[in-house]
Structure 1
Amino acid sequence: MSTAVTSPPSRLALYLDLIRWDRPAGWLLLLWPTLSALWIAADGFPGWHLVAVFVLGTILMRSAGCAVNDVADREFDRHVERTAHRPVTRGALPVPEALAVGAALALVAFALVLSTNPPTVLLSFAALAIAIAYPYAKRVVSMPQAVLGVAFSFGIPMAFAAVLGGSDRSLAAVADAVPPHAWALLLSNLFWVLAYDTEYAMVDRDDDLKIGIQTSAITLGRHDVAAVMAFYAIHLVSWAAIGLSLGLGAWFLAGAAVAAAQVPWHWTLIRARRRDGCFKAFRLNHWIGFALFAGTALDLALR
């Protein structure tokens, strides 16, 4: 009886696995609040150039972040059921090659940013620094999800800068281009990230306890489910309040209501703390962000 021989994956297949190409939930979670901010800053459709820059830039930077994260966590990931087969962790992709892929993607994203304006370019350096810092945060802080929250929300001030910024290259120009409500939206979005990334951390809690890393799921302990619900509530209430203060109306509130209607379903998925339920809740979070964006875009288009 002959035994079929499985050929090793191609380099392209390994690169696509490295950047989680078949798992778009990650970049969608980044994309929807960024696009919401872009529409709010422009008071409507911001133009195809900025839409293309932020959509492609989001995909590229999330992909680059995956490469950095896998290199940083390769020793941890081999002890975690969900991540043990990632290409860097299992040795299919050398560390220098994975970093080169990440750097190439980040450079393409930076080239896109260069087509905007100096305040956005300056903010992109801060965004990059936070993205690189996140994988190491779990070694020193008890809730590294808060660091991820800043990283995954930084497209919001960048969107405002891209719309409102001018040609001045000073830090004062950045402050002028990013109004206070943009930072308020970032803070609000941070609580959404805390909600969905705590769900994500709940998937790996048993493995993370064994290897000694820190996550919000471990820090919150038996209060994890209640905390996730509270994070969702803070995000949705504050996001709605900010939108109303900016003059958004019925369609915006309808989008927020559709987003809020999904939260009880998330509770049913995570309340038993099973891996499959928590992971499903995380993966489907982008529909909350989509509902908020759709309400925002419709409200601005139909006013």
Structure 2
Amino acid sequence: MSGTSDLKPDYASQHEPLPEYTPPRSGLLAHIPASWVPFGELSRIDKPTGIYLFFFPHLFGTLYETACNPKWVYTPSHLLHKNAILLVGTIFFRAAACAWNDNMDCEYDRQVLRCRLRPIARRAITPSQGHLFTALMTVLALLCLYVLPKVCWAISVPSIAILVLYPFAKRFTDYPQVILGVQVSMGLFMGMGAINPTLFEDLERMFTNKDEEKVLAIVSLYMANICWTIVYDTVYAQQDIEDDARAGVRSMAVRFQGSTRTLLYVVSLLQVTLLVACGYWQDFGRGYMVMACGGTITSLGVMNTTIDISKPSECLWWFKNGCWFVGLSMSLGLCLEGLGLR
């Protein structure tokens, strides 16, 4: 296909002709059969940052449940086993989410420079093949779910429902990042349930006993994860802000264009405040406060003060690397609490 054949005339007329698609020449996709490459691209297996971002809330959930219940004996091998299952399930679940998203967004993708050569957008995969691939990845994810406690099955139902909704959110709201955050952050409860089969009973007991502080701690950590999703996905969306606005794709990056940095500062501060509140209500020690809260505010503070949000390359760098700064800070803070290093 030609470099501009799939684009709207008004878009093509404002841009230089684009190069043809070229198969990957390095990385994982360069070493698989050519007929598999479009499906590998559809799953984003060569772009693992999304896997990490999907997985981190699950990890937080396992570590939080351990930190809150020091009387329980969780061996390192037990935690590693549960997190390994959650990670494998996340890989398949994220692949299903990407395939579903690309199928629903293919007409928009053809109008966005960075996305126009995605496999469905460039017609290397048909929509029907995309749906079949989505179904296959979903089944594989559910097989991982099958070996987890039944409480995880119940948590997966609203999670999948919200993920199905997400691609359409960009049509009817300027805040699709919030909807994505609600879905991704449900991994927190999935992680908690993975090591605590009686999670629902424990939550019910908290409400019955009016143990508001423990409930507020969980809610705060969940909302902090939503804030983090808003931050990193808004930074990610900055790469396509002009094309998205032209194509009619709605997002917080488009909605707050011109004041995005202020938005990032506010949401980052809210995230750290919620992390502090979680630690306060759960009576966590200095290890959590210094590492999880201090590490997060330092990471986000450096990002917000140094990033040039007008440069897609900087936005992509912070999206790919910022997940480690924040994710590891929160993980290590919860680990310190779980080890009793207060």
Q: TM-score, normalised by structure 2?
A: 0.79
Q: Indicate if the aligned counterparts of 1:77 and 1:84 stay in contact, CA closer than 8 A.
A: yes
Match of 1:23 among 24, 37, 47: 47
2:244 aligned partner, one-letter code: D
Matches within 5 A, 1:177-188: 180=215, 181-188=217-224
CA offset digits 1:21-51 (Å, max 9, x no partner)? 1211111112222211111113365533321
Matched, 1:247 2:275: no
Q: Indicate if the aligned counterparts of 2:279 and 2:288 stay in contact, CA closer than 8 A.
A: yes
Matched, 1:146 2:184: no
Q: Indicate if the aligned counterparts of 1:114 and 1:121 stay in contact, CA closer than 8 A.
A: yes
CA offset digits 1:259-286 (Å, max 9, x no partner)? 2222233124544522222222222221
CA deviation after TM superposition for structure 1 residue 7, in Å: 8.0
Separation in structure 1 between the aligned mates of residue 298 and residue 188 of structure 2, nearest angstrom? 24
CA deviation after TM superposition for structure 1 residue 220, in Å: 1.4
**Worse-matched range after superposition: 146-155 or 53-62:** 53-62
Q: Which residue number corresponds to residue 10 of structure 1?
A: 34
Q: Which residue number corresponds to residue 160 of structure 1?
A: 192
Q: Indicate if the aligned counterparts of 2:149 and 2:194 stay in contact, CA closer than 8 A.
A: yes
Q: Indicate if the aligned counterparts of 2:220 and 2:277 stay in contact, CA closer than 8 A.
A: no
Q: Indicate if the aligned counterparts of 1:29 and 1:285 stay in contact, CA closer than 8 A.
A: no
CA deviation after TM superposition for structure 1 residue 76, in Å: 0.2
**Worse-matched range after superposition: 63-72 or 220-229:** 220-229
Q: Indicate if the aligned counterparts of 1:269 and 1:280 stay in contact, CA closer than 8 A.
A: no
Q: Which residue number corresponds to residue 330 of structure 2?
A: 292
CA deviation after TM superposition for structure 1 residue 196, in Å: 0.9
1:98 aligned partner, one-letter code: G
CA deviation after TM superposition for structure 1 residue 297, in Å: 1.3
Matches within 5 A, 1:214-253: 214-253=250-289
Q: TM-score, normalised by structure 1?
A: 0.89
Q: Which residue number corresponds to residue 3 of structure 1?
A: none
Matched, 1:264 2:288: no
Q: Alpha carbons of 1:269 and 1:277: their partners in 2 closer, same or farther (altered >3 Å)?
A: farther
Q: Which residue number corresponds to residue 120 of structure 2?
A: 88
Matches within 5 A, 1:75-224: 75-166=107-198, 176=204, 180=215, 181-224=217-260
SS at match of 1:138: helix
Query: Percent identical across equivalent pairs?
Result: 26
Match of 2:56 among 32, 42, 47: 32
Q: Indicate if the aligned counterparts of 1:149 and 1:191 stay in contact, CA closer than 8 A.
A: yes
Unpaired segments ≥5 residues, structure 1: 1-5
Aligned residues: 294
Task: Let me know the Cα RMSD of the aligned residues.
Answer: 2.4
2:317 aligned partner, one-letter code: K
Q: Alpha carbons of 1:108 and 1:175: their partners in 2 closer, same or farther (altered >3 Å)?
A: farther
Q: Indicate if the aligned counterparts of 1:36 and 1:297 stay in contact, CA closer than 8 A.
A: no
Q: Indicate if the aligned counterparts of 1:75 and 1:89 stay in contact, CA closer than 8 A.
A: yes
Q: Alpha carbons of 1:15 and 1:7: their partners in 2 closer, same or farther (altered >3 Å)?
A: closer
CA deviation after TM superposition for structure 1 residue 161, in Å: 2.5
Q: Alpha carbons of 1:106 and 1:176: their partners in 2 closer, same or farther (altered >3 Å)?
A: farther
